[in-house]
Structure 1
Amino acid sequence: MARRRGRYAGDERSGVLLKVLGLLLLALVVAGGAVLATWDMKPPTRPVEKVIPNDRF
């Protein structure tokens, strides 16, 4: 009886490599989301001055 091949024609190590890369990508996305959720960014404190012409009033 012949064995069925999977979707990829590589050996079993390539499947493990794809799983490891997928897990690393998922961990990177989760870590990036956690950093963005907890990062205390300070707003810009530079004053803004706009000159409005008197014709508008």
Structure 2
Amino acid sequence: MARRRSRSGGDESSGVLIKILVSLLLVLLVAGGVALATLDMKPPTRPVEKVIPNDRF
């Protein structure tokens, strides 16, 4: 008897590769969220001076 091929057309390693890629993406998202939550980023500060014409008063 002949063996039937799977319907997906790929072998078992393609499923493992997809699981690894999804896991890697999930780890990167969690690591990015932790980095944004814990880093102490200060906003850029510099004085802003605007000249308002006297016609507006």
Q: TM-score range by the shorter chain?
A: 0.7 to 0.9
Cα distance in 2 between the residues matched to 1:22 and 1:41: 29
Flag structure 1 segments of 5+ consecutive residues without an equivalent: none
**Identical columns (%):** 73
TM-score relative to the length of structure 1: 0.80
For 1:29, give the aligned amino acid: L
Structure 2 counterparts to residues 19-38 of structure 1, below 5 A: 19-38=19-38
TM-score (norm 2): 0.80
Q: Which amino acid aligns with 1:27?
A: V
Aligned mates of 2:22, 2:55 — CA distance in 1? 61
Detail structure 1 runs of 4+ shifted over 4 Å in the superposition: none
The runs of 5 or more residues in structure 2 that have no matched partner are none
Counterpart CA distance in 1 for 2:56 and 2:44 is 29
The alpha-carbon deviation at position 5 of structure 1 amounts to: 3.1
Task: Figure out how many residues of one structure are paired with residues of the other and give that number.
Answer: 55
